[in-house]
Amino acid sequence: MTSAIIDAKDITNQDDLAIKPLIVATPTITYQMRAARLASLAADSGLTDYFNLLNLVVKAQAKQAELGQFGQLPQLDLNATMPLAHGNFEWGNYWQSILLELVAELLPVVPSPIQAVLRDLSGLPEATLQQYAEDLLSTRIDAVPAQYSLFIWAALSVYWSHVAATIEPTAVTVEHNQQSLCPICGSHPVASVIKSKPREGLRYLHCSLCESQWHRVRAECTNCEDNTDIHLWSEKEKNAELSVESCGCCHSYTKMMFTNVNPELEVVADDLATLFIAGQMQQQGFHSTNVNPLLLSHQQQETEPQ
């Protein structure tokens, strides 16, 4: 008499190398790594002052992600396509208290012109802040004064990544492989991250708001799914740690961070540190479909192909 050593439906669960469609956010670790990477890139970035400020902002984010008050978890409709899209749940104004905590954290350590900006920001009426948040989340970035957008987005991101981290990866339906926006919150990706583990070489897109990552097939455009005219641009033929994937069909590009080649790469920091590449790709007629939460520039919105 034979007996099964494993139930048939459990076989796939045993598979460590199976593609996970979604990697749930780990905010504290993400922010700590980002802050460290910003610090190490600052000197050669060409934007040293800005990188130093970002380092402080992201450190404050890491602290809030660990210790912040987030209130009761909101009710989420996990059957919705993007359960954390800003129209799909009551996100309230807990993010505003996080913003005030960030400001309090930053005030003693930033230069005086930025202290002035932070004081103005914390003095804004609640309704105005809520409107700014609504604008940023609806990608009306130009509706928000540029000196505030960085801090507002940082606070929103801490709140969103906190809620996103509570989601069971299996509870959300991720359209298999084929999503150009975050399946959790519907935001744009920052760039592509190539993983070293558990299956080396898989590409994940990193969300610019909730810090989740979702799987996307390689050698296919992350914007239009075409695969007939994909080019990689890099400084080395093989084992480049950073390259750009361009699509000749929709003329968009996304940066690829090969963390299997250089594990220190951090998607947001390294995207900003290679801002130069954006200029070169624009000269070649390609535009970015990605959003960097530490830049939030107007230009990317203008060239948005959707």
Partner 1 sequence: MDRRQFFKLCACGATTSAIAALGLMPGDAMAAPREYKLLKAKETRNNCCYCSVGCGLLMYSHNSNGKNAENHIFHIEGDADNPVNRGALCPKGAGLVDYVNSPNRNKYPEVREPGTNEWKRISWNEAYARIARHMKDDRDANLIEKNEDGTTVNRWLTAGMMTSSAQPNEGGFITHKFARSLGLVAIDTIARN
Residue whose CB is less far from partner 1, 88 or 297:
297
Q: By CB under 8 A, is residue 84 in contact with partner 1?
A: no
Question: For residue 198, is the peptide bond before it cis, meaning its omega torsion is within 30 degrees of 0?
Answer: yes
Query: Residue 147, exposed/middle/buried by CB under 10 A (0-12, 13-18, 19+)?
Result: middle
Site for partner 1, residues 140 to 159, rule: CB under 8 A: 141-142, 145-147, 149-150
Q: Report the alpha-carbon distance of residue 156 to residue 296 in Å, rounded.
A: 13
> Which residues ranging from 39 to 78 are in contact with partner 1 (CB under 8 A)?
44-50, 53
Q: At what angle do helices 146-164 and 94-106 cross, to 10 degrees?
A: 120
Shortest Cβ 304–partner 1 spacing (Å): 14
Cα torsion angle, 53, 204, 68, 28, sign: negative
Distances (CA, A) of 39 to 34, 43, 108: 9, 8, 19
* 276 in contact with partner 1 (CB under 8 A): yes
Amino acid, single-letter form, for residue 256: M
CB of 190 to partner 1, least distance (A): 15
The residues in 193-252 that bind partner 1, with binding defined as CB under 8 A, are 199-203, 217-219, 227, 229-238, 244-245
Any bridge partners for residue 289, and if so which?
A: none
Per CB under 8 A, does 107 bind partner 1?
Answer: no
Number of residues binding to partner 1, judged by CB under 8 A: 58
User: By CB under 8 A, is residue 122 in contact with partner 1?
Assistant: no
Which residues sit at the interface with partner 1, rule CB under 8 A? 17, 19, 44-50, 53, 113-114, 117, 141-142, 145-147, 149-150, 177, 199-203, 217-219, 227, 229-238, 244-245, 274-280, 283, 294-300, 302
